[in-house]
């Protein structure tokens, strides 16, 4: 057997094993909590399987996955034969038209759900722009607070009866940005594959897929962050594509390519702070693994991170904003300590450790631990933030020491907190039956009147009733786990093909998504880059066009 064939068999085995682990673990966790279809009386009657049963099932499933993956990747590779047909390159104004059509479709949806979805964190951001006496707070990205709050404040001054017109203006602006970015994505997909049917599918996905549309008319910061990241990812693909541009910083065309990748990447970091951590890790790996023109890469990634730090800290200084709390970055460790306390009780800690723990958090508040979301525990520790900052290194030592003593508890805490992000056959749900697929306020009880109540009710039922779970196949288009699997498969296919472009694009997307696994909950909005990349992933799995363009 040749080394190349052995390498491909190994990759297929690695991918099949990873998917099997996610499938079996996610299945058992979902069975444990009765989420999604796993809450049915029949499956609950079976209960959670024994370890040996899971292992037996996993062996069978891993073998089937391996056969399908190796056969499928080999078939896709055989189809990637250079073509000799001549295609007419579509002009830029065509894609501008596509973006305009997307925007018009979005406006219809926005009118139907007028004024849009005033949800998540915006209630704390708007007063910072509306009232001078309200101080700025960097708990949420200041750039987003200024952009969103500024537009909503403008709408409020035009129509001061309520915030509905301001919300409408902001959602319309955001939809315009989304339409422009998705139009570029469609152009990228068509230029790479020359497949009209795939481009049409991608257009329909961006135009009608409910999670994409719902988020486009939402006031949350994630949308602008991830549509800008989408552009950066596609530009980074062009930079590293083995069949296209060589990694270079010397020629003006490539300098322009680096800039068009860097500017939206900096803005993406400004709209969600976690993105910069993914960029740092990706930049280090890229500079180590890709030797050609390493200097240009170092300048690029250092420049992105430096620009983010300067601009972000400059905004904090200029507005005299309160810095973000450190607890925002400690969702996983604080959840794990609370899980250990809830599962094992005080017996898991000695007297000195208990003294430290109770100085950082009220004892009764540890009982508010929720395996699906860390907000309760983060708030409990935040109440004693001054003490926590004074004793932070003691807390770090406590967390590390207990992790070594109880690794199973720590692992269970992390899996329970994240499985809804990487397991396709479940739903996003919090404790006590509270459902959180997508937070939609009821404007009929506050401000605004949806013009198409049936459309509004359709979206509302996605959150309240998980109505999409009744559609056996299409339900997968609503789940983060599906998009996670598609992205991971595309990345491994890049390894299979030794395709630098795919590896770079999917690597950055997955690393940014990995930072969200350290967040408080597996909300769909945290993983939107995977939704936005899904049509592109399908394009990566198909042969790359090598046809001549007719001018």
Check whether 192 has a pLDDT greater than 50.
yes
Residue 256 zone, left/alpha/beta (φ > 0; ψ -120 to 50; rest): alpha
Are 70 and 464 in contact by the 8 Å Cβ rule? The answer is no
pLDDT at 121: 79
Cβ-proximal residues to 28 (8 Å cutoff; 6+ apart), any chain: 48, 49, 54
The model's pLDDT over 267-282, given as tens digits with 9 standing for 90+, comes to 999 999 999 999 999 9
pLDDT at 434: 60
The model's pLDDT over 273-314, given as tens digits with 9 standing for 90+, comes to 999 999 999 999 999 999 888 899 999 999 999 999 999 999
CA 167/CA 164 separation, integer angstroms: 5
Residue 155: alpha-carbon gap to chain centroid: 30
Look up residue 202 and give its two tokens: 């991608």
CA 440/CA 459 separation, integer angstroms: 8
Share of the chain above pLDDT 70, in %: 91
Residue-wise DSSP of 81-96: -----EEEPPPHHHHH
CA 264/CA 361 separation, integer angstroms: 40
Residue 432 zone, left/alpha/beta (φ > 0; ψ -120 to 50; rest): left
Euclidean distance between the first and the last CA atom of the chain, given in angstroms as a whole number: 46
The DSSP call for residue 133 is: T
Please, which pLDDT band fits residue 77 given cuts at 50, 70 and 90? confident
The model's pLDDT over 337-393, given as tens digits with 9 standing for 90+, comes to 999 999 999 999 999 999 999 999 998 999 889 998 888 898 899 888 889 889 989
The model's pLDDT over 407-456, given as tens digits with 9 standing for 90+, comes to 999 999 999 999 999 999 888 776 655 666 666 665 544 566 788 888 88
pLDDT at 447: 61
Q: What is the mean pLDDT of the chain?
A: 88
For 294, counting Cβ atoms within 10 Å of its Cβ (0-12 exposed, 13-18 middle, 19+ buried), the class is middle
Check whether 458 has a pLDDT greater than 70.
yes
Q: Tell whether pTM > 0.75.
A: yes
Of 202 and 388, the one with more pLDDT: 202
Residue with tokens 């897929």: 209
The model's pLDDT over 103-121, given as tens digits with 9 standing for 90+, comes to 999 999 999 999 888 877 7
pLDDT at 267: 97
Residue 542: alpha-carbon gap to chain centroid: 24
Collapsed DSSP state (helix, strand, coil) of residue 523: coil
Please, which pLDDT band fits residue 336 given cuts at 50, 70 and 90? very high
pLDDT at 243: 44
pLDDT at 551: 39
């Amino acid at each position: 057997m040749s080394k190349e064939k052995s390498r491909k068999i190994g990759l297929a085995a690695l991918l099949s094993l990873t998917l099997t682990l996610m499938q079996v673990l996610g299945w058992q966790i979902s069975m444990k909590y009765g989420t999604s279809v796993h809450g049915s009386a029949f499956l609950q009657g079976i209960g959670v399987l024994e370890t040996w049963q899971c292992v037996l099932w996993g062996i069978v499933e891993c073998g089937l996955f391996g056969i399908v993956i190796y056969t499928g990747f080999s078939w896709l590779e055989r189809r990637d034969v250079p073509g000799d047909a001549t295609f007419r390159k579509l002009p830029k104004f065509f894609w501008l038209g596509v973006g305009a059509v997307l925007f018009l479709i979005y406006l219809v949806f926005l009118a139907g759900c007028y004024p849009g979805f005033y949800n998540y964190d915006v209630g704390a951001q708007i007063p910072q722009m509306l009232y001078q006496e309200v101080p700025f707070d960097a708990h949420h990205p200041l750039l987003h607070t200024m952009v969103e709050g500024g537009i909503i404040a403008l709408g409020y001054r035009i129509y001061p009866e309520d915030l509905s017109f301001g919300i409408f203006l902001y959602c319309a602006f955001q939809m315009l940005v989304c339409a422009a970015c998705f139009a570029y994505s469609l152009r990228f997909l068509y230029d790479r594959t020359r497949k009209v049917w795939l481009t049409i599918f991608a257009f329909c996905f961006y135009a009608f897929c409910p999670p994409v549309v719902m988020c486009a008319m939402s006031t949350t910061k994630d949308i602008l962050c991830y549509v800008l990241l989408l552009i950066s990812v596609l530009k980074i693909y062009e930079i590293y594509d083995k069949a296209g541009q060589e990694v270079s910083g010397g020629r003006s065309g490539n300098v322009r390519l680096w800039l068009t990748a860097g500017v939206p990447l900096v803005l993406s970091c400004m709209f969600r702070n976690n993105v910069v951590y993914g960029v740092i890790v990706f930049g280090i790996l890229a500079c180590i693994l890709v030797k050609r023109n390493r200097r240009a890469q170092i300048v690029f990634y250092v420049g992105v991170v430096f620009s983010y730090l300067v601009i972000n800290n400059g905004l904090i200084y200029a507005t005299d904003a309160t810095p973000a709390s450190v607890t925002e970055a400690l969702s996983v460790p604080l959840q794990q300590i609370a899980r250990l306390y809830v599962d094992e009780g005080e017996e898991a800690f000695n007297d000195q450790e208990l003294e430290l723990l109770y100085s950082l958090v009220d004892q009764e508040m540890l009982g508010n631990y929720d395996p699906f979301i860390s907000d309760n525990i983060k708030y409990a520790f935040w109440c004693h933030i001054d003490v926590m900052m004074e004793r932070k290194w003691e807390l770090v030592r406590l967390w590390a020491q207990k992790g070594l003593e109880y690794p199973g508890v720590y692992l269970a805490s992390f899996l329970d907190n994240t499985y809804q992000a990487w397991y396709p056959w479940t739903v996003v749900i919090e404790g006590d039956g509270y459902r959180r697929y997508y937070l939609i306020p009821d404007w009929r009880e506050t401000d605004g009147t949806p013009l198409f109540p049936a459309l509004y009710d359709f979206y509302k039922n996605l959150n309240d009733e998980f109505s999409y779970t009744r559609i056996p196949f299409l339900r997968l288009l609503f789940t983060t786990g599906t998009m996670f699997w598609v992205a991971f498969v595309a990345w491994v296919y890049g390894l299979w093909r030794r395709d630098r472009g795919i590896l770079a694009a999917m690597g950055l997307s997955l690393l940014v998504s990995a930072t969200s696994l350290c967040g408080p909950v597996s909300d769909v909005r945290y993983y939107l880059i995977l939704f936005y990349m899904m049509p592109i992933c399908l394009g990566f799995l198909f042969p790359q066009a090598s046809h001549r363009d007719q001018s």
